[in-house]
Chain A
Amino acid sequence: MVKEEQETANRPDNTAFTQQRLPAWQPMLSAGIVIPGFVLIGLAFIGIGVALFVTTRSIQVLELDYSGVEQSSPCFKCSDTSTKNCVCNMNFNLDKLFEGPVFFYYGLSNYFQNFRRYGVSKDLDQLSGNLDNFENPTDDCVPFQYDANKKPIVPCGAVANSIFNDTFKLYQIIGGTKKPVPLDGKGIAWWTDYNIKNRNPSVTPLKNAFNGTVQPSNWPKPAYELDPTDPANNGFINQDFLVWMRRAALPNFRKLYRRIAEEDYAQGLPAGNYSLEIAYNYPVLSFDGRKKVVLSNVSWMGGKNEFLGIAYLVIGSLCVVMSVVMLIVYAKFKFPDEE
């Protein structure tokens, strides 16, 4: 092939491309560039690191493990799976203002939401409101596809079935009386999940769409009655449902439950005594899991995370130290190849 081209074209083209003479930038990393570069990067990193560190230090976090493993725990009585509708109270004390907005998370440990089979066990068409898939859920949902009576489960699959169903109420104890702290459940899921990705079937009332289907076995109530207070928070666009359906990356995770940013608590939780009333439904001890509640406020960088700040500080200092070492080496020996 090449031969024929050669013979017809005869003389090779004398272009920069064919002669491999394209103008080129030939960077050389020399000490003159690297040392100042390292200093600059190091300083910038230290700056960012300090900012991160200070910020993350200012974030307040309160964690309450309520799995009820220890006998001393108020929830110990509920840890026995045989007790139904068990409610336990955990009291805690804030000695200074917990700055708002406060975010209310629940956390699970040793819980593998990232199991592969678990992860695919859902029917996206169903969740986007396709009525065909109400009758015939995808095979991925097995064994949560049909119930014992061959009725389709909606929403089907392991993920939906295992939705976190503990509920919480928070009270501030003022002079012995319990003042409920309003918990805001709006906007805890991704905007796109709520508005675009998941859709309820366009049937009114929503209940009718679910005719001939059954709710997942673990659910106390069907999907269309998840939130009796807000009709726009039912079915597949229920915020708690959406939060649960977005699978966690690691076996120890937390998920957003509510926000506290209303009424008297817009500035945060004032110092004082609080009581957390927990409807304990979700079994975790069978697989040695733990449950906890996390109250936290967030900054521009998200929740409390010391890793990032420390990493920046370490790397930044490392850069500076290395540039100093290089400078010494450079001054003493002169790099052999340096002009």
Chain B
Amino acid sequence: MLRRRLNRLLNNDERRVDSRTIFVGHRSGSPNDAIIPAKFCDNRIVSSKYTVWNFLPKNLFEQFRRIANFYFLIIFLVQVIVDTPTSPVTSGLPLFFVITVTAIKQGYEDWLRHKADKEVNTYPVTVLEDGRRIRKESEKIKVGDVVEVEEDETFPCDLILLQSSREDATCFVTTASLDGESNHKSHYTVSDIERDLESLNATIECEQPQPDLYKFVGRMHIYKNDQEPVVRSLGPENLLLKGATLKNTQKIYGVAVYTGMETKMALNYQGKSQKRSAVEKSINAFLIVYLCILVSKALVCTTLKYVWQSKPGQDEPWYNQKTQREKDTNIYLKMFTDFLSFMVLFNFIIPVSMYVTVEMQKFLGSFFIAWDKDFYDPEIKEGALVNTSDLNEELGQVEYVFTDKTGTLTQNNMEFIECCIDGFQYKHRDGSAEMDGFCVPDGPVSKPQQKAGREKEELFLRALCLCHTVQVKESTDQNDDQIDGLVADGEVSLQDQRGFIASSPDEVALVKGAMRYGFTFLGLESKNMKIRNSNNDIEMYELLHVLNFDPVRRRMSVIVRAKSGETLLFCKGADSSIFPRVRQEEVERTRTHVERNATEGYRTLCVAFKYLSAEEYRQADEGLREARLALQEREEKLMAVYNQLETGMSLIGATAVEDRLQEEAAETMEALQGAGMKIWVLTGDKMETAKSTCYACRLFQRNTELLELTVRTLEDGGKRREERLHDLLNEYHKKTVQDAPPFKGGVTRSWSCASQDYGFIIDGATLSMVLNSSSESSSHCYKNLFLQICQNCTAVLCCRMAPLQKAQIVKMVKNSKGSPITLSIGDGANDVSMILEAHVGIGIKGKEGRQAVRNSDYAIPKLKHLKKLLLAHGHLYYVRIAHLVQYFFYKNLCFILPQFLYQFFCGYSQQPLYDAAYLTMYNICFTSMPILAYSLFEQHVPMEVLLDNATLYREIAKNAMLRWGPFLYWTVLGVFHGLVFFFGVRYLFTNPALQDNGQVFGNWSYGTIVFTILVFTVTLTLALDTRHWTWINHFVIWGSLAFYVFFSFFWGGIIWPFLSQQRLYFVFANMLSSVSAWLVIILLILVSLLPEILLMLFRKRRGPNARQPSECDLLQTSRLQL
């Protein structure tokens, strides 16, 4: 986001001009103007990052920008420059391996991008030049070229539609590859363009490129022989975007306005900002600890070395004389190089391989989400989608869930339930639809058997039929493959099957609702809307204007002219936006219906209309045209005209559409609450509707006490709003926080052993009062109060929210004390902001397009999948990665500790204990696979159990396995093991004659024995922790040990020509020939494992049978830590 904004800023800076002028077909506009050849970029798309020449330096630079890689590079350089104990190979080889693998991966990806670029750039296109059709490569298109595109081709650049082969001067496109919306959208040609494009003489003035796919403003000047130029406004409906595909239209002609990297698609091609998981932060914290350990070890050794050397005879015994150069070196320089040498010797404590393993674990692990067949939805034929694998473990840490309502909690599958006309209720009953206007009128209880006048009924139905932007699916090219989720077929009971396409499912539901009552929308033919009324007559209305829906107005209108010449405005929208704009005496009758419907969970819309006199219409028409032509602030101007028009209407009635709950929505919510997550519903919907949904989802129980903080409650008291807000906040705070029973468990108790549940409701207007209160100090105070109240409520409902407010709330909670992990889930474009804001963003592959999915970290087909995603996958991923991290630090601590201790026995001479091969291979080969397998397959508790017992999720809450406690445990274990390994062998070597032939063992035998014990212990420790032994675990654990033995034989069995020192030659085999060595290995392994076995026995068992008794204690302690 920031980058995008920055880009825009830079763009603006570069060219001060806010708009560009394009000469269609490169013909000068008016005959006397010469073309000023403007410089635009060519139509080449470059998505690749590297070229052959800059790949190596650029890629290396990017890789070494990572702290870890840089650190290892430094170590490597020190090894090369300074005389160090280990050869540069030991750290160079792993680093080289990591760098190479990454470079190959990135190079391959870039090669693919190059290939894709080339394919796009050389795609043949047809361009009209001087009346001839010329085939060109796509990259050669220039701004101003007139391009021909045929059906099913994608547009090579952003085009203004000039001419379509369809008669109604429209064309259909799908933007599936841009925003994932697979429905057909119609785009319009610029009106008043002659058929002969050859003679077209026009210029286009439009804004500079910007990435918003749905915004475009421009103006076209058409010059006709010596007349004043005609000006036409251009909007997004005239713009065909690069990447979209032409459908249902044989061919079109368009003029290129944005090309290459300036197309909207290219401008949108930007990576999302990286989200970092809490585990990564823990890793970094641990790294710092280990870095401190490393530095202090090196410091201790350096200091002791010089203390030790100060004793006479120790510094330079006769058998180990120094070279002349050593004698000449400055003592401080020597100390420094000694320090560096120790650093190099101990640097293995921070392993390069941990990063690789963590990355691999995340990458491979994320496949299990995509593979899970439980996430597969047969309706949309898709499973889950993983957009980032960096956040897998974060799924196991979620504390706050922010969910959208429509399409997330509910299905967004609308069904027309009933309507209310002039205060009378009409309920639709299947099978009772009669041709005679309305079916059984099911009026309000007080006035049974009454109904509104026939005239009103018909007006209402006409309004439903006219006031929308629904398209009728063409029956001529009704191929099956074009039927997508948005197409809903009409009822069979009616004369013909009919499919409707609309951007909002509400509209389809309404049109179909009207169809049930006999009014059928037949389609739009050259600006005429055709409907068939209940008498089977065709009525025609000329569509004059559509006042589009937007979330701020929350309504839409159409202006039509009937055959009779009357001009009508039909408006439909949310009650809150309609009621103030109609005559007040009409409102009351309808309001009761609307409210009753809302509490039942239906979505209600009110329908109003007004007649426009000729004069009124003329004014409106003028105003609209003017606003549409505006290049700047078009939106604002349009809004003003809309608002002015949509006043003084008369209310006809209201509709109720049911949006059913998602499958298992209630169960899912219950499970999430059981798992200790706080659920906040953020919706743009009405409070009543949202509330009823919350009840239906069991977010609010019958006994939940609702605390409302809405505009209505604020107005109740009769005081000033601010004061009332203040009072209410304090009152609720007192209730929930101060008066809460002082049990130790705090709020956590209230999920399970509830005393009093609170639910909190706030609406957008009040929220903005809380957040942006007039005075600075009170704002801060309100915010705190609000947060505290919310934290003590089981569920929070925020209704009437604007998309940005959703993100605001998420941000507020995210930054609150303890920085809890947040998760946002939503399906629509209005949820994108909160999806991007939260730690984890989940998109639902719903009906409102794919924008949420594109911006999410994970996408799932249905809400019910969230339960498994968090409780099973998230939990397991967290446990896996936490164990992986702890284990990695542990195994390197006990790897390097003996080497450190050995310095005390070799005169601090930086003598390595282990051979270079062992030093290098330890983390790469001997101990890496078992932990990787563990971190991919471990299920310490079976998935079913995790799903059945949501409370298990709380055990790992608050990063439980990566806090300092467990870290300390592992560190102590590592130190203990290191001490056992070293001193065990040390005491064995008081007499180095360990063979029955009296021969003695040397230092490499010493190191090899320690190393053997180390490899076995470390692997067996992991084996002890493994609760889920698949054949893969068996294979890698026993395989690693076998490989170690095999490798040691092999490595020691041959005189390696490339080695200058055959240190390990036959050392391993000789070791195995000694009974004492065997005995000490067995003994020390067992000693090392004993504490772990004992602990395991006494530790609380996790599993199906082990949750009830100790759970509350656990929760209480975890709460106390907060």
Contact = CB atoms under 8 A, between A and B. Distances in A.
B568 to A, nearest CB: 46
A29 B1079 CA distance: 25
Interface stretch (A87-95, A174-182, A246-254): A246-254
Given A22-B1030, A26-B1027, A303 B998 contact: yes
B995 interface: yes
Interface centre among B907, B986, B1087, B1096 (most CB of A within 10 A): B907
Contact of A124 (B367, B1060, B1094): B1060
Nearest to A319: B1090
Given A14-B373, A26-B1029, A298-B998, A249 B909 contact: no
Interface stretch (A70-78, A228-236, A307-315): A307-315
Interface string B1095-1107: 0110011010110
A13 B375 CA distance: 12
B1065 A249 contact: no
Nearest to A38: B1093
A308 B1061 contact: no
Given A24-B1028, A41-B1086, A114-B1003, A256 B313 contact: no
Interface in B316-352: 317-324
Contacts of A125: 1060
Contacts of A116: 85, 906, 909-912
A192 B1065 contact: yes
Contacts of A188: 998-999
A97 interface: no
Contact of B1097 (A119, A298, A326): A326
Contacts of A252: 990
Given A254-B1000, A308-B988, A48 B324 contact: no
B1083 interface: yes
Contacts of B385: 2-3, 6
Interface residues of A, number: 100
Contacts of A18: 367-368, 371-373
A144 B324 CA distance: 11
Interface in B974-1002: 984, 986-1002
A331 to B, nearest CB: 15
A253 B989 CA distance: 8
Nearest to A258: B998
B1094 A322 contact: yes
Interface in A298-339: 298-305, 307-308, 311-312, 315, 318-319, 322, 326, 335-337, 339
Contacts of A296: 993, 998
B1030 A114 contact: no
Contact size class for B? Answer: 35 or more
A251 B911 CA distance: 13
A143 B321 contact: yes
Given A248-B1002, A303-B991, A337-B1105, A34 B1097 contact: yes
Interface stretch (A205-213, A262-270, A282-290): A282-290
Contacts of B214: none
Interface in A159-173: 161-162
Interface in B1004-1040: 1005-1007, 1024, 1027-1033
Nearest to A196: B1055
A23 interface: yes
Contacts of A12: 370-373, 375-376, 383
B1109 interface: yes
B1107 to A, nearest CB: 10
Nearest to A23: B1030
Interface in A108-147: 111-121, 124-125, 128, 138, 140, 142-144
A150 interface: no
A20 interface: yes
Contacts of B1093: 29, 34
Contact of B370 (A6, A24, A251, A303): A6
B87 to A, nearest CB: 11
Given A31-B1097, A112-B320, A315-B1086, A307 B990 contact: yes
A110 B549 CA distance: 91
Interface stretch (B478-486, B493-501, B658-666, B1069-1077): B1069-1077
A302 B383 contact: no
A20 B939 contact: yes
Contact of A305 (B373, B990, B1002): B990
Contact of B998 (A6, A103, A158, A337): A103
Nearest to B1003: A249
A70 to B, nearest CB: 19
Contact of B318 (A251, A286, A305): A286
A189 B999 CA distance: 7
Contacts of A144: 321
A247 B990 contact: no
B993 A254 contact: yes
Contact of B320 (A30, A117, A193, A302): A117
B934 interface: no
B617 interface: no
Interface in B887-939: 905-907, 909-912, 937, 939
B386 interface: yes
B382 interface: yes
B180 to A, nearest CB: 10
A190 to B, nearest CB: 6
A256 B990 contact: no
Contacts of B1005: 249
A254 B989 CA distance: 10
Contacts of B1106: 337
Contacts of B1032: 22
Contact of A115 (B386, B906, B1074, B1080): B906
25 contacts: A11-B376, A24-B937, A25-B1029, A26-B1027, A105-B993, A112-B906, A112-B907, A114-B905, A116-B906, A158-B321, A187-B997, A190-B1070, A248-B1000, A248-B1002, A249-B989, A256-B993, A256-B1000, A288-B313, A301-B996, A302-B993, A302-B1075, A308-B1076, A308-B1079, A311-B984, A326-B1097
Given A48-B1079, A125-B1060, A303-B993, 8 more contacts: A2-B366, A2-B387, A116-B909, A117-B322, A197-B1062, A251-B905, A301-B1075, A308-B1080
